[in-house]
Structures are given as structure tokens and as C-alpha cells.
């Protein structure tokens, strides 16, 4: 029997269930980007909030829109929008039934008219998880005037990108004279609220509507947030585990996540769910420090694990973090390089780095390096180059960042020669592969051309030529020697 509203209460007592009737939820939140992360993160906190608020909580149902996967919206509908969250503890799995989504839609389905749903006065909050690449940003955090999807949205009747949908929705709110919803970006983007606000304003101006742009700037709240939970892509084991733990109920769309959960939200005005009912959620006046620590230590370290680990034949983050050479390199990278501009006490940073290594090594989480390695050109500036620049300005060495950049370039060089065993996804992939093809075997030229891309790396680095030479040398090592040998040497060098 398929999991649904009529039977979820029959799941064994060991399964966490919602303490409200999902049929009574009313939509108060519209979410863009109903993917795995959303289903393991905001839905969890919203479910805790609804549960803690009694009848009042029922106004916070989520209308969740998939941006690219119509089949997921359909599968959710088939299960009355319920699904299982499998929390993968290092030594066991706990199942929870998630039920805070009141409606699942596909964003591109013309009948769903997402902008109108956002402009509906019942919608008080819009949350987004469209991934960093869904905002079409360049290294300085502004939207890319050459991004084809954005250009298409400029004239589209039903926009498909997040900035396009939001600009259209705000135009509807403004025309009606209503109160705009609060827009909460939940993606790993530096200053994510401010950045999204500027993106939506710029998009409105591009469409020739400077007045709308100014109105958005004056009237719409875009709080910053920091989100943290490691959520791998679902595996076929997940379905078997869900069926077993649910006492035989079938779930075709369960997800797995690590136990860790954090959501730090900048305080804002207006009605909202009691998200802080979830022990991992809290409201603060300034999210900057949390965001910087998380983006640089977790997401930056993820990139090093993925690119260097992938070259060394390690398939998952757990394998890469457990590697006797790469593990210590990454731990040092986090502690010595990635915290250069993070203003937190040393003990806090030590604790966070140690927790991160434990989280990365969680054997219950199968997080493929191929996935973490996606869209590096969009992630590089804020996760790696920002602290690298801070270190270089102080004359501090940056061996981890150099290894990371060289390993990333090497992925494209190998791909160009059809010798990369991992699939490679990046919005700038064609251009980056071409650079490697044009400068085949010339590591200096490859390093020079990559680091010259200001839309990826920002303006020239301090002592730029030296950094280019260091990256070229690392590229040479990664070409001449087997990657595990390079890592062993680096680990031994300390
Ligand atoms: C990862 C993140 O794919 C990536 O870029 O680094 O999805 C990471 O797992 C989450 O940010 C953890 O909170």
C-alpha cells in the first residue's frame, strides 16, 4: 500500500509522525525548488513549527514547486504530498513522515501560474532552494547579463528563472496594492538575501521597469539565511529502507539526510511559522559570520574533497574524507585557510572543523563527488577565493586553495581528452573545456586562462603571477604523477 494521508498513522510507533492533520493545512508559504534539500530542511523546520503552534500552525502549509522535475511533483501528489525522511545516524536510521507540503506543483506547468500564487495575499513567505547556479550570478554577486535563461525570461510571458518569477510576482503584488511576502533565499550564496534582492531588482530594471525595481528595494524584505544539512541524492536502498521502517507502506520518493540541521535566519517583520520550535533553527540580527564559516569551511572543503578526491578515484565524500592523505589535507585547509576572515573564537572554529570531519565521514551518507563537483565555476568565488584573497593579503600561504583550483582545472583537462571517469556539469563547461583544448599540455597557459576569468575568480589575486605559477605547478604534478601520490606528498609536507 502506498503511503498517504489515510494510512500514515499505521506506521510503527518508532516512526516520527506529524502531530497535526495534513488535510487541514492551508497554504502560507510558496517554495521555489522542491528538491531533496528543501524536503530535508525547510519542510522539517516548518513541520516542527506547525506541530508547536496548534491550530494557528495550520496556516503554514507549503506550496512547493519543482523547477525542473515534473515527475517529483506528480509523485508527491500521488502520496498526498507525504514522504519519508530517513535520518542516517552513523549507526542506524530513523524514519520520519514529512507532511508540511500542502500542494506540490511543477513551476513550468502553465496552469500552476506560480507568480500569481506568490502574489496571493495568503502567501506570507516565499522560500527558495534553486541552487547557487539558479541565480545566474557572476563572481561579484551580480546577475550575469549574458545568461541565456535570464535573457529568455526578459520577454517570456511565464518566466522560468527564480529572478524572473519573483519580479513578475512582485509586479502583481504592486499592482494589487497588497503587502508583499517576505522572500527567504535558502541557497548557499554569500549574503543570499541581499544578493537575491539585487538580482530581482536588476531583472525588473532589465525588463524596463525601474519603478518596480525601486518599489522592490523599498517594500520587500529579503532576509539573509544560513542553511546547513547534508542531503545526498536518493538511492534505491532508500525505498527499501523506507518500506521496512514504515511497516510495509510504500514510498516512491523517500530522502536521506544526516542528523545535523542548522538554519540561521535574519530577523524579519511579519507573520511567520515558529521555526525555532526546531532545535536547529534560530533567528539572529546578523547572519554574516555563520554564513561565512559555513560556506567556506563546509562547502569549500566539499569542493576540495570532490575535485582532489575524484582525481584520486574516490567516489564519495565519505571515502575522500576518510582517505589517510586527503582527510588531513582538507582538515588543515579548513582550519588554516578557510577561516582567515571568519570572526569566531578559535575553540568554536576547532569544534566546527572537527564536527565537519565527522559529518563528512558519516558512512550512512553516500554523497557522490560528481554531485558536489557540479557547477564549480559558480561556487568558486565565495567558497574559495574570498578566504584565499584574505590569506594572500596577509602573506599567508594557500596550498589547499591551490590544490583545489588545480584539481578543478584538471577535471576539465581530462574531460576534454575524454579521460575523466566522472561526469562533469557546469554552466561554463564548454568554455572551460575549450581553454584546456587550446592549451593542451601547457599548464601555465591553462592556469593563466582560468585565473583570468573575472566572472569566476573576481579581479586579479594579490601577487597574481605567483598564484598562476603555483596552480600551473600543481597541474603539472597532477598530470605527471598519480593523484594519490601527489596527495601523499602534500600530506607529508604538512
Ligand atoms: C554541497 C552542499 O553541493 C554542494 O555544493 O557543498 O549541497 C552541502 O552539502 C550543503 O550546503 C550542506 O549544508
Residue to probe by mutation, ligand 1, list 33, 299, 374, most atoms within 8 Å of CB = 299
The count of other CB atoms within 10 Å of the CB of residue 376 is 27
What is the percent of the chain where pLDDT is above 70?
A: 99
Cα(187) to centroid(ligand 1), Å: 9
Q: What pLDDT is recorded for position 341?
A: 95
pLDDT of the residue at 160:
93
Q: Which residue has the higher pLDDT, 39 or 156?
A: 39
Residues near ligand 1 with C-beta < 6 Å?
188, 228-230, 298-299, 302, 372
Q: Reduce the DSSP state of residue 448 to 3 states and report it.
A: helix
Nearest CA to ligand 1 atom 8: 230
| Average pLDDT score, the chain | 96
Whose Cα sits closest to atom 11 in ligand 1?
Answer: 228
Q: Of all protein residues, whose CA lies closest to atom 10 belonging to ligand 1?
A: 230
Residue nearest to atom 7 of ligand 1 (CA): 230
Question: Which backbone phi and psi does 184 adopt, to 5 degrees?
Answer: -115, 105
pLDDT digits (tens, 9 = 90+) for 65-92: 999 999 999 999 999 999 999 999 988 9
Compute the distance from residue 397 Cα to the ligand 1 centre, in Å: 26
Hey, what CATH topology would domain 8-284 get? Answer: Rossmann fold (3.40.50)
Average pLDDT score over residue span 430-434: 97
Question: Ligand 1 pocket: which of 230, 261, 301, 359 to mutate (most atoms <8 Å of CB)?
Answer: 230
**Count of CB atoms within 10 A of residue 71's CB?**
11
Q: Atom of ligand 1 at shortest distance to CA of 231?
A: 9
Of 239, 299, 248, 263, whose CA–CA distance to 93 is shortest? 239
Q: Under DSSP, is residue 168 helix (H, G, I), strand (E, B) or coil?
A: helix
- Ligand 1 mean position, distance from CA 367 (Å): 10
The CATH fold of domain 288-493: 1.10.1040
Residue 376 near residue 303, CB atoms below 8 Å: yes
Structure confidence by residue, pLDDT tens digits, 466-485: 999 999 999 999 999 999 99
Mean pLDDT (whole number) for 31-53: 98
Give the C-alpha separation, 489 to 381, whole Å: 27
Q: Which atom of ligand 1 is nearest to the CA of 375?
A: 5
End-to-end CA distance of the chain: 56
pLDDT digits (tens, 9 = 90+) for 233-265: 998 899 999 999 999 999 999 999 999 999 999
For the stretch 338-379, pLDDT in tens is 999 999 999 999 999 999 999 999 999 999 999 999 999 999
Element (H, E) at 128: strand 125-128
In this prediction the pTM is 0.95
pLDDT at 217: 98
Which is the closest atom of ligand 1 to the Cα of 372?
A: 3
| Residue range(s) of every CATH 3.40.50.720 domain in the chain | 8-284
pLDDT digits (tens, 9 = 90+) for 140-151: 999 998 999 999
The segment(s) of the chain belonging to CATH 1.10.1040.10 are: 288-493
Q: Is residue 215 scored above 90 in pLDDT?
A: yes
pLDDT grade for 112, boundaries at 50, 70 and 90: low
Amino acid at each position: 500500500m502506498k503511503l498517504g494521508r489515510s494510512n500514515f498513522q499505521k506506521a510503527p510507533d518508532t516512526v516520527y509522525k506529524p502531530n497535526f492533520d495534513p488535510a487541514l493545512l492551508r497554504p502560507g508559504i510558496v517554495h521555489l525548488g522542491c528538491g531533496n534539500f528543501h524536503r530535508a530542511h525547510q519542510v522539517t523546520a516548518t513541520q516542527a513549527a506547525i506541530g508547536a503552534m496548534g491550530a494557528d500552525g495550520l496556516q503554514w502549509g507549503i506550496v512547493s514547486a519543482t523547477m525542473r522535475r515534473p515527475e517529483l511533483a506528480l509523485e508527491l501528489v500521488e502520496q498526498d504530498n507525504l514522504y519519508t525522511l530517513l535520518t542516517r545516524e552513523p549507526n542506524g536510521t530513523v524514519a520520519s513522515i514529512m507532511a508540511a507540503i500542502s500542494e506540490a506543483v511543477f513551476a513550468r506547468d502553465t496552469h500552476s501560474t506560480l507568480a500569481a500564487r506568490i502574489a496571493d495575499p495568503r502567501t506570507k513567505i516565499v522560500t527558495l532552494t534553486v541552487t547557487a547556479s539558479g541565480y545566474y550570478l557572476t563572481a561579484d554577486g551580480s546577475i550575469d547579463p549574458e545568461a541565456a535563461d535570464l535573457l529568455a525570461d526578459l520577454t517570456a510571458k511565464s518566466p522560468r528563472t527564480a529572478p524572473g518569477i519573483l519580479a513578475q510576482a512582485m509586479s502583481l503584488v504592486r499592482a494589487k496594492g497588497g503587502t508583499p511576502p517576505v522572500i527567504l533565499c535558502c541557497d548557499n550564496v554569500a549574503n543570499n538575501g541581499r544578493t537575491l534582492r539585487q538580482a530581482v531588482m536588476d531583472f525588473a530594471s532589465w525588463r524596463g521597469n525601474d519603478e518596480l525595481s525601486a518599489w522592490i528595494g523599498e517594500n520587500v524584505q529579503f532576509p539573509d539565511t544560513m542553511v546547513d544539512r547534508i542531503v545526498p541524492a536518493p538511492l534505491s536502498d532508500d525505498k527499501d529502507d523506507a518500506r521496512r521502517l514504515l511497516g510495509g507502506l510504500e514510498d516512491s520518493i523517500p530522502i536521506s539526510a544526516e542528523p545535523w540541521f542548522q538554519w540561521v535566519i535574519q530577523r524579519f517583520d511579519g507573520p511567520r511559522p515558529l521555526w525555532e520550535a526546531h532545535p536547529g533553527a534560530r533567528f539572529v540580527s546578523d547572519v554574516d559570520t555563520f554564513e561565512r564559516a559555513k560556506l567556506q569551511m563546509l562547502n569549500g572543503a566539499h569542493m576540495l574533497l570532490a575535485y582532489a578526491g575524484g582525481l584520486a578515484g574516490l567516489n564519495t565524500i565519505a571515502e575522500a574524507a576518510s582517505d589517510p592523505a586527503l582527510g588531513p589535507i582538507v582538515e588543515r585547509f579548513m582550519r588554516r585557510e578557510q577561516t582567515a576572515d571568519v570572526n569566531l573564537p578559535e575553540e568554536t572554529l576547532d569544534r566546527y572543523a572537527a564536527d565537519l570531519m565527522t559529518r563528512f565521514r558519516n558512512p550512512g551518507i553516500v554523497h557522490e563527488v560528481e554531485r558536489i563537483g557540479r557547477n564549480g565555476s559558480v561556487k568558486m568565488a565565495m567558497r574559495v577565493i574570498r578566504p584565499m584573497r584574505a590569506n594572500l593579503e596577509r602573506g599567508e600561504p594557500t596550498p589547499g586553495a591551490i590544490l583545489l583550483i588545480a584539481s578543478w582545472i584538471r577535471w576539465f583537462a581530462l574531460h576534454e581528452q575524454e579521460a575523466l571517469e566522472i561526469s562533469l556539469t557546469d554552466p561554463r563547461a564548454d568554455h572551460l573545456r575549450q581553454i584546456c583544448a587550446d592549451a593542451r599540455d601547457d599548464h601555465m597557459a591553462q592556469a593563466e586562462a582560468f585565473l583570468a576569468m573575472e566572472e569566476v575568480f573576481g579581479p586579479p589575486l594579490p601577487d597574481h603571477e605567483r598564484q598562476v605559477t603555483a596552480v600551473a605547478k600543481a597541474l603539472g604534478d597532477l598530470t605527471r604523477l598519480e593523484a594519490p601520490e601527489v596527495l601523499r606528498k602534500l600530506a607529508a609536507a604538512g
